[in-house]
Amino acid sequence: MEEEMEKAIRDRLKAPRAGAIAGMVFSILLIVSLVLIRVSVPAIPGDSGTWLSDSEKSIRLALDLLPFAGIAFLWFIGVLRDRMGELEDRFFATVFLGSGLLFLAMIFALSAVAGGLMMAYETIPGKLMDSGIYTFARTVAYQFGSVFAMRMAGVFMMSTCTLAIRSGMFPRWMAFLGYALALSLLLSIGRFYWTQLVFPLWVLMISVYVLLANLWPKAA
């Protein structure tokens, strides 16, 4: 009986650590993907599409990393819910989970649209640019990645910070900082080109704290 209890405790301690590491993996992969996209693709739609040939390898690498970032983000959501435990508020937990899943869905949709656009360019480059399909697909990808996904990320941050204040899963100063960063993400989309990096950097901060809190509970 004692052995079973010890095993259960060890398994419970390993889950937050694994989730925290997953959050760090998500942050690093998303930062790399965003940087590759930002330095390769023009800020707003309406470009001539030269990046399809000039930066093909960089964009393909960025798109290949996004699914793995999404998988790691699911683990991160899991570890946050684990830390909330019985103190999880159903209302805010619904917003927290829904916004996180919507963020993932839009990131995957962005990858699919951008990947399809690149495949179409390889097959029929001339027809693609003349038909108007490029402009449409480029605008859809921009809306998914730069507008809706980032606003869902902001909602995810605000709901997570609210749950953190109620459950104490991370310090209050982190929660208040998260509110400020979330507002900057919600209000500055389309104005500042590199604002999207706010979200993965915030996730990285929370993941590092959760990992340290499980490795050295007294210190945390």
Rounded Cα distance between 188 and 28, Å, is: 23
Over residues 155-167, the pLDDT tens digits come to 999 998 988 888 7
The predicted pLDDT at position 117 comes to: 87
CB within 8 Å of 1: residues ≥ 6 apart:
none
Per-residue confidence (pLDDT) for residue 216, from 0 to 100: 66
**Residue ranges per domain, the chain?**
2-215
State the pLDDT at residue 89.
66
How far apart CA 45 and CA 192 sit, in angstroms, is 15
Which residue is listed with tokens 């839009």? 106
Give dist(CA 159, CA 156) in Å, integer: 5
The whole-angstrom separation of Cα 131 and Cα 184 is 37
**pLDDT attached to residue 92:** 74
41-84 pLDDT, tens digit per residue, is 877 776 777 777 777 788 899 999 999 999 999 988 887 777 66
3-state SS, residue 55: coil
Alpha-helical segments (H) within the chain = 2-40, 51-54, 56-84, 90-123, 125-131, 133-142, 149-167, 172-187, 198-215
Q: What pLDDT, on a 0 to 100 scale, did the predictor assign at position 212?
A: 84
CA dihedral (82, 84, 86, 88) positive or negative: negative
> In this predicted structure, what is the pLDDT of residue 2?
46
Look up tokens 């993965």; give the residue.
200
pLDDT under 50: residue ranges of the chain: 1-13, 218-219
Structure confidence at residue 5 (pLDDT)? 42
Say what the alpha-carbon torsion angle 200, 197, 202, 153 is, to the nearest 10 degrees: -70
